[in-house]
Amino acid sequence: MIGLRNALWKFVFWWKHRTGFVDMGRRVTAVGTVIAKDPGISSDGDRNFDVRLDHGQEWMITGMGGRLTSADPAIGPSIHCEVEPWASDEVKARCDKMRIGDRVLVTGRWGFDGVHVGRPMWLEIVLALVRHQPNLQEGWFEVHPVERLAILSMAVAAAEP
Position with higher pLDDT, 83 vs 71: 83
Contacts with 149 (C-beta within 8 Å, 6 or more apart), sequence order = 83, 91, 94, 95, 98, 104, 105, 106, 107
Q: Compute φ and ψ for 153, nearest 5 degrees.
A: -155, 145
Which residue range is the domain that position 16 belongs to? 2-153
pLDDT for res 5: 65
- Name the band, by pLDDT with cuts 50, 70 and 90, for residue 159: very low
Residue pLDDT, tens place only, 7-64: 766 676 666 655 667 888 999 999 999 999 999 888 778 899 999 999 999 889 987 7
Cα distances from 37 to residues 60, 124, 129, 160, in angstroms, run 19, 21, 28, 23
Q: Is residue 6 part of a domain?
A: yes
Residue 36 within any structural domain of the chain: yes
Buried b vs exposed e over 77-96: b needs ≥16 C-beta within 10 Å?
Answer: bbbbbbbbbebeeebbebbe
**Which pTM value belongs to this model?**
0.79
In a domain, 161, yes or no: no
User: Closest Cα partner for 80 from 36, 114, 44?
Assistant: 36
What is the pLDDT averaged over residues 61-75? 72
Assess if residue 160 is contained within a domain.
no
Residue 133 is assigned to a structural domain of this protein: yes
- Nearest Cα neighbor of 22 from 107, 135, 103 is 135
Domains in the chain, number? 1
Whole-angstrom distance, CA of residue 59 vs CA of residue 137 = 17
Q: Give 81-120 pLDDT, tens digit per residue.
A: 999 998 999 999 999 999 999 999 999 999 988 776 567 7
Q: Is residue 2 predicted with pLDDT exceeding 80?
A: no
Q: Is residue 82 part of a domain?
A: yes
140: closest CA among 121, 159, 118?
A: 118
Mean per-residue pLDDT over the chain, rounded: 82
Please report, for the domain that includes residue 60, its CATH number: 2.40.50.140
Q: Does 159 fall in a domain?
A: no
Supply the pLDDT for residue 161. 47
Give a yes or no: residue 86 inside a domain: yes
